[in-house]
Amino acid sequence: MLNFGSRMDAIQAPIIAVVGDLIRQTPGTISLGQGVVHYGPPAAAMDAAREALSNRDTHGYQDGAGNRALIVAIEEKLLRDNGIDRRNGLGVMVTAGGNMAFVHAILAITNPGDEVILPVPFYFNHEMAIQMVDCTAVLVATDDQYQLDLDAIRRAMTPRTRAIVTVTPNNPTGAVFPEAALRAVNELCRERGVFHISDEVYEYFTYGSTPHVSPGAFAGAQDHTISLFSLSKAYGFAGWRIGYMVYPERLNDAIAKVQDTVLVCPPVISQIAAVAAMAVGPAYCRQHLAAFADVRDIVMAELRALEPLCTVPPADGAFYCFLRVNAEADPMRTTERLIREHGVAVVPGHAFGVTRGCYFRVAYGALQKATVAEGIGRLVMGLRAILES
């Protein structure tokens, strides 16, 4: 009899698949679950991909770090949008999405038993990746607005700490971290000789007065900052699997080893499409931002009507908010009831590391305004019915 146990047994099951199964069992459910946008790639990207199909070179392996044309487009974008100059001793690697870039980073900078600090609520795939490589995710609470608590982060550091992770704009909370907080984290990392891993896959999605800031642009940050980006959200590219990472050049060998083993080279056709998408530029997603902001206003206003039963802290970025229920309720059981009895799906907070209390992530990027309004209506009615019964 083979022993099927493995390191994966200790890792949480991907929550989106669990919620997805429940949704499939309840036709007509409106999903405020998955964090995707409602639009696809720019037409120019699809045209470029179509044209590239007849080029035999696209059928073979190409450069491991990414094709020259895409790397150049990324370098220009980093300078223009992020203030990051690759010539300051930085490496750039194209990956199959931002998730892979995170795994590359963790594999490149840790030994088994090392610790990585994750502010909570965290993005679940970050915790999963850290645990898969036999490291420990050290969970540090944020404040009641889901903002970083620098003292708590400082207290959580030990000689085994290898990195602090920040995600801004944030999944799952929609919080945007101000420059001062990011500078403080980046400076702490520099002082203690650990890496700052900055996940910026929602970089263009901000609606309030706090702009997005890239820690990799801070003076003196280049030696210890790893910045992660993705085309999945900005360019509707989730299925094309293109992300990229920027890192201190001394990690080149380690990251190249991971890339060669896991991916060999990024998908060639997707890279050609990505070059065309990046030529269209961030104006492509910015044209949708006003509509996202409108939807966000509806979501926040409707959910705030649930106070004092629930609280919704500010959510000025990405396309999420993270609802706190001020009553006794089991998050998974409530999620199931919302789907089965009220036809609306959200993701329970425990998937994001919040194990005390009842929280839900509400995602509003995948749907048009009318559908989101209907979904939020169902959520509000459903929560009232379940929590007040």
Ligand X SMILES: Cc1ncc(COP(=O)(O)O)c(C=O)c1O
Site residues, ligand X (CB under 6 A): 35, 97-99, 123, 167, 171, 199, 201, 230, 232, 238, 243
For ligand X, the closer CB: 199 or 336: 199
For ligand X, the closer CB: 234 or 300: 234
Tell me the two tokens of residue 192: 């203690």
Instruction: Tell the residue number behind the tokens 């900055």, with chain if given.
Output: 198
CB-based contacts of 68, cutoff 8 Å, min separation 6: none
What single-letter DSSP state applies at residue 317?
B
- Rama region for 309: left / alpha / beta (φ>0; ψ in -120 to 50; rest): alpha
CB of 34 to ligand X, least distance (A): 8
CB of 199 to ligand X, least distance (A): 5
CB of 370 to ligand X, least distance (A): 24
CB of 159 to ligand X, least distance (A): 28
Per DSSP, the three-state class of 214 is coil
For ligand X, the closer CB: 195 or 378: 195
Burial readout 94-115 (b: 16 or more C-beta within 10 A, e: otherwise): bbbbbbbbbbbbbbbbbeeebb
CB of 282 to ligand X, least distance (A): 16
For ligand X, the closer CB: 162 or 233: 233
* Overall residue count recorded for the chain in this entry: 389
CB of 332 to ligand X, least distance (A): 20
For ligand X, the closer CB: 238 or 278: 238
Residue nearest to ligand X (CB): 97
- The DSSP element (H or E) to which 151 belongs, if any, is helix 150-156
Tell me the two tokens of residue 132: 């898969």
Q: What strand order describes the sheet that includes 310-311? A: 310-311, 320-325, 358-363, 347-348
For ligand X, the closer CB: 215 or 243: 243
CB of 232 to ligand X, least distance (A): 3
CB-based contacts of 55, cutoff 8 Å, min separation 6: none
CB of 318 to ligand X, least distance (A): 7
CB of 94 to ligand X, least distance (A): 11
For ligand X, the closer CB: 218 or 240: 240
For ligand X, the closer CB: 238 or 346: 238
The one-letter code for the residue type at 224 is H
Beta bridge partners, 92, equal 246
For ligand X, the closer CB: 140 or 306: 140
Alpha carbon distance 195, 212 (integer Å): 20
CB of 326 to ligand X, least distance (A): 26
For ligand X, the closer CB: 16 or 52: 16
Q: With contact defined as beta carbons under 8 Å apart, do 47 and 273 qualify?
A: no
The one-letter code for the residue type at 354 is V
Per DSSP, the three-state class of 140 is strand
List, in sequence order, every beta strand (DSSP E) within 102-260: 115-120, 136-141, 161-167, 195-199, 225-230, 243-248
Question: What is the bridge-based pairing of β-strands 320-325 and 225-230?
Answer: unpaired
Alpha carbon distance 231, 98 (integer Å): 8
CA dihedral 120, 231, 70, 94 (to 10 degrees): 40
